[in-house]
Structure 1
């Protein structure tokens, strides 16, 4: 496929992608949209011009909305048809290739469009599914012998997080405050977090509502997942390490998470599927699956000091995940937990075996004992005020590239 749109080399947004998001056009008009190269396409106006009339199941302009929820709830038969129609329209010699009126009304330079939260997130769950990350953290806090807890290889461990504090890429947030207990102190202290961290994650978004009591099997999971996003699940390590026993993450995690504005469909990522790492011991029947359920997505993390340059600090890959999305969703619902359209499920920190592939400052600096050296000569044990963390991700194979753009967030001083 070749598009009539000029697509820069190594663009994440090739004609093979066709992601979905929500943008502000002309600083006042909000619409669902897609992107190719450096052009953002207003889908609400494209709908008004009649280009989706032939698609069954889309009876009103669901793109004239502040979120993608209404669109993705139509299900895969409709959303896939819309994506394929857009792909068709963007090819050379298509019916809009020389349609100046449509191009002028629907196509915008990406720098002129402000991207918003792509979905309304009713519920958010964070998993803990990278064996390398879980092992590293276990070694730091419990020692080599007890690195992985007994349940880790039997269930995709997770917890319910805070949906209200998920923000879109480019947002700033204030350093969280809370209780911390220094190792040499008898009692906890209160103040701004001193060990602020990022967590390199990816998330998936579901496209359906289920009834309480129902479950989604591993074979049904892909039909229930609309697409994926980049996700930075910020973490206050010192607050979390004091509070997490016995009930787990709370103030150490609920202050902010940052999501990328573009949702990349599972269909666009299909060519990049790979085998899930071998799981031993054998999992219970409801967690068994067929086919290639991991995805080869290259992930890079950059730390940028205020007024400074980007420093590449991690090169990881989503394919390292021990537990895959199908298993995560199957486990999440096996007890009858109902899901809702727009629910977001994060992978947990993604780390590889090599040090440069670790997905958090906690691991990269080994709990602050091995600081990172930046190009400006400064060092980082954890994230400092006015630092920006940028994550980028893409899949590439045989000349085809499908990417997510980036997710960035800046840390402001505590209020």
Structure 2
């Protein structure tokens, strides 16, 4: 089938057009590509062939120059790409510049600057509170309804989908152990998240207001923030996640621009506590997203977390991240935190799905409390698009391998 003839209902039709970076087998050259169905268009070559003024933004080995160009350029390039793949007169020129996805290698699409992970799902936070603080009067910490809790992670271990995840080693100590031991994690987990990619930087000492977040954030992707629960439990008091989280964070090879998700925008859940002015979004346009996520282990779907239930939005997270004057850089990535819904099969981590190992999952290849070597985890998602279509988000897959 010619690349232009995308089947009706394909979630990667011309209404989507996510960006990625690819190379051909045997070639070190990386190219910016745009996905259409099961093909990738060499965006830089297409822009050059059609005499586009945006060729200089697309003829690079990653998306960072386009990310830094700003919202006007983002919208202009998207309109141009839409015309290129839908106007029949361009077919003869562009058809040789399409490549089957099966014939290319996909790479990390942008150079990651800083990485921050949040904790924005009330359902997830309450589940974790009930697991680890069962006698507490409130399963949420006192600050949770007043600010988006987060921590700074390690950008150097953000990897593209398909990269193996080596089981991490570290110290661990069970409550009944007399002393800590060193070795591979025995409670390796996943966290189903959504990542937001910053394009336009901000100056040091200049907070980003809620209303301005879309001027800085280019798009989003699925994100799996792998977690070694046993290592984390021993190390995180009093300073928080470190080795238990820094060994791998997997992201999709495709970045979906925010402009492709206009029909998926929704209001966040009702606020139950008054918010300080810099976080008060009651008069702002909705900045929640209706994303339907699926989590599969070895091809078996174990959970379907709904992103629309997230209490804190990406706009609020960015406002909080910068309110102290911290600056943004092109390529900054921030994760939503684990996405969990109110139902049992909507939980975004094995910690919750198995209730800290108490209730093993029944899979076709055996029971699971936490991940075993050889397990393959895949996150996939879609969002409502224009005229009843679906907007597909690129999958995130990783296989656990022994260290």
Question: How many Å separate the matches in 2 of 1:217 and 1:48?
Answer: 37
Q: Check whether the contact 1:25–1:31 (CA below 8 A) recurs between aligned residues.
A: no
Tell whether 2:235 aligns with 1:243.
yes
Q: Distance in 2 between matches of 1:113 and 1:267?
A: 26
8 Å Cα contact 1:130-1:350 kept in structure 2 = yes
Query: Does 1:132 find its partner at 2:127?
Result: no
Partner SS, residue 351 of structure 1: coil
What CA distance in whole angstroms lies between the structure 2 residues aligned with 1:183 and 1:147?
21
Q: Deviations over 1:103-124 (max 9, x none)?
A: 11x1111111111001101100
- Deviation at 1:147? 1.3
Task: Give 1:220-239 correspondences, 5 Å limit.
Answer: 220-239=212-231
Deviation at 1:8, TM superposition (A): 3.5
**1:51 offset after TM fit, Å?**
4.2
Q: Aligned to 2:69, what secondary structure does the other structure show?
A: coil
Alpha-carbon contact 2:20-2:32 (below 8 Å) kept: yes
CA shift for structure 1 position 129: 0.4
The alignment partner of 1:268 has SS state of helix
2:210 and 2:319 in contact (8 A); partners too: yes
- Comparing both structures, which one devotes a greater share of its residues to helix? 2
Counterparts of 1:279 and 1:386, CA distance in 2: 42
The answer for the alignment partner of 1:70 in structure 2 is 65
Which residues of structure 1 form unaligned runs of 5+?
305-309
Counterpart secondary structure, 2:57: coil
2:305 to 307, 316, 327: 316
Correspondence for 1:111: 102
Distance across 1 between alignment mates of 2:10 and 2:88: 22
Structure 2 Cα separation of the partners of residues 110 and 70 of structure 1 = 24
Aligned to 1:392: 380
State how far apart, in whole Å, the 1-side matches of 2:148 and 2:61 are: 33
Deviation of the 1:10 alpha carbon: 4.5
Q: Deviations over 1:246-265 (max 9, x none)?
A: 00000000000100010001
Q: 1:81 pairs with 53, 76, 83, which one?
A: 76
Question: After the TM superposition, which segments of 4 or more aligned residues of structure 1 sit over 6 Å from their partners?
Answer: none
Q: Deviations over 1:284-335 (max 9, x none)?
A: 000012121111010000001xxxxx11001111111100011000010000
User: Alpha carbons of 1:259 and 1:4: their partners in 2 closer, same or farther (altered >3 Å)?
Assistant: closer
Give the unaligned 5+ runs of structure 2.
Answer: none
Normalising by structure 2, we get a TM-score of: 0.96
2:21–2:32 CA contact under 8 A, matched in 1: yes
Q: Deviations over 1:177-232 (max 9, x none)?
A: 11111121121111110100000000001111222101100000011110001000
Q: For 1:132 and 1:145, locate their aligned partners in 2 and report how far apart those are by CA, in whole Å.
A: 16
Residue 180 of structure 2 corresponds to: 188
